[in-house]
Amino acid sequence: MALPSTSPLRAGLVVLQPLRRKHCAACRRGPLPLLVLEDGVPRCLACADLGHLVFLPRGDTALTRRSREESTLWAVVVRFNRRKGRYERQGLLVEEEALARAETRCLADAEARRRRRARDARRREAQDARFAEAFAAQIRRLFPGCPPDRARAVAAHAAERGSGRVGRSAAGRALSESAVTCAVIASVRHLDTPYDRLLMDGVARHEARRRIAAEVEAVLRAWREAAGPGAAQPAVIGTEAEIKPTGTDGRR
């Protein structure tokens, strides 16, 4: 299980959580919950001179950062995600005394950090609300016949922070016509066509989309034409495949 040569994790000490049963090439202990690769062969932490370190799981950013600052020796713990095809951080190995000092530092300013997180959360909430309003306004500009409540619902869904949906893509944040149209298409597909039922019946996704394409286009056309002659029209119109923004397939 060699780290990819392009991995930024090669810059420091890296410890692996193996996906398969591995034994130490030196002392033959195993199976190993954690190991280090030396010259392409697995070593246990004791044989790699890391046995005195303790594991700090990821999740607490302040504690992780301070433990790293306090520890003379530390290593990143990673595990390979087969589905995503990449290594992902699981936490750190740090000196036990360093972790204790870091915990003391975190306890000393816990209240201040809590208040800062609350302020940041309120700021993000306000930003998200403004963005969703702008997204809904863009929907209404491109599709004047779309009911206002529906436009707001589509915008809220597409623009949800951390969702990975089209509204959070670069094109979505720029309110590009293609990204906004993709969000509307996704909503129409699920709510105004039998697409979900086709999927439940075992129809392949691409075939299901082909079957309901005409229904989707009929709804979009009705919403566009509600503006009347001479009104602003999307610069990009057509099938779903023709309006996919970079980095998204338009799925909800």
Tell me which DSSP letter residue 244 carries.
P
The mean per-residue pLDDT over the stretch 95-115 comes to 91
Given a cut of 80, is residue 227 above it in pLDDT? no
What pLDDT score was predicted for residue 235?
Answer: 42
What pLDDT score was predicted for residue 110?
Answer: 86
**CA of residue 101 relative to chain centroid, distance:** 32
Given a cut of 80, is residue 156 above it in pLDDT? yes
Mean of the per-residue pLDDT values of the chain = 84
What pLDDT score was predicted for residue 3?
Answer: 52
SS3 235: coil
The mean per-residue pLDDT over the stretch 80-98 comes to 93
What pLDDT score was predicted for residue 170?
Answer: 86
The mean per-residue pLDDT over the stretch 42-58 comes to 93
| Spatial CA neighbour of 251 closest among 200, 192, 205, 203 | 205
| pLDDT one-digit tens code per residue, 66-86 | 999 999 999 999 999 998 899
What pLDDT score was predicted for residue 1?
Answer: 44
What pLDDT score was predicted for residue 162?
Answer: 78
| pLDDT one-digit tens code per residue, 16-39 | 999 999 999 889 988 999 999 988
Query: For residues 171 and 131, which has the higher predicted lDDT (pLDDT)?
Result: 131
Query: For residues 228 and 122, which has the higher predicted lDDT (pLDDT)?
Result: 122
